[in-house]
Structure 1
C-alpha cells in the first residue's frame, strides 16, 4: 500500500480544531507515527516524560521544543531532527498556526526499556 505523509489530513486538523496522532507502524520495540499540529502546544506547566526513546523529525511547518534541562527553546524547521532520550522532560512551546506542522516520530526501546 502506498501512503503519503502529506495527504489525508483529518478534517479536524484542516479546521485547526485538533492535533492528530496517526500510528504508521508498530512492532516490538518500535512505533512510528505522524503527528499533525496546527497551533497546538503542551499545556502550560505540563511536561512530557516518556519511558521510551523518541526520535523526531519536522517535515513541514515549524515548532518550538523545550527541554526542562535547557533554558532556551529549540526552534525546529523542516528537516530538523532531535533525539529525545527516555525520561527526558520536554514540551512543545508552540507550533505554526498558519499551516499544519507535520512531525515524523520514532519511539524506540533503549537499553533500559
Structure 2
C-alpha cells in the first residue's frame, strides 16, 4: 500500500529574503482553480505609476493583513486601508495603488473571481 503524501503548512507572512527589495511588488499565486485565483502580495513603499490604472477583467476581493495603504479610484476617490480592512473591486473598476507603507511592508491577500460573480 502506498504512503499518503504528507500535509504541509505555509505562512502568509514568510517571504523570500529579497522579496521586499526593489521597486516592484512581490506577488505569488497561492491557489488557482475554475476561474478563482488567490494571491498574496508584498508591497514596500510601492505605488502605481501616475498614469497607470488597473482595469481588470475579474472582480477582486482585497484584504490588507499588515501595513497601511491607500487606493485611488478613477474620479479621485481615495480609500485608506489598515490591517484587517478589506474591499471589493468589481471588474473594470479603474483603480491604482496610491501608496503602501515601507515599514512595516504591506501584506495583501487577494481573491480574483470571474466578473459575473
TM-score by length of 2: 0.87
RMSD of equivalent CA atoms = 1.4
Give secondary structure in 1 for the equivalent of 2:45. Answer: coil
Instruction: Give the gaps of 5 or more residues in structure 2.
Output: 1-7
Moved over 3 A (4+): none
- Pick from 29, 53, 61 the counterpart of residue 47 of structure 1: 53
Q: Following TM superposition, by how much is the alpha carbon of 1:72 offset from its aligned partner in structure 2, in angstroms?
A: 3.2
Paired residue for 1:97? 102
Structure 1 position 88 matched with structure 2 position 88: no
Q: Following TM superposition, by how much is the alpha carbon of 1:77 offset from its aligned partner in structure 2, in angstroms?
A: 0.3
Paired residue for 2:44? 38
TM-score by length of 1: 0.90
1: CA distance, partners of 2:61 / 2:12 = 17
Give secondary structure in 2 for the equivalent of 1:87. Answer: coil
Instruction: Give the gaps of 5 or more residues in structure 1.
Output: none
Paired residue for 1:4? 11
1: CA distance, partners of 2:105 / 2:87 = 19
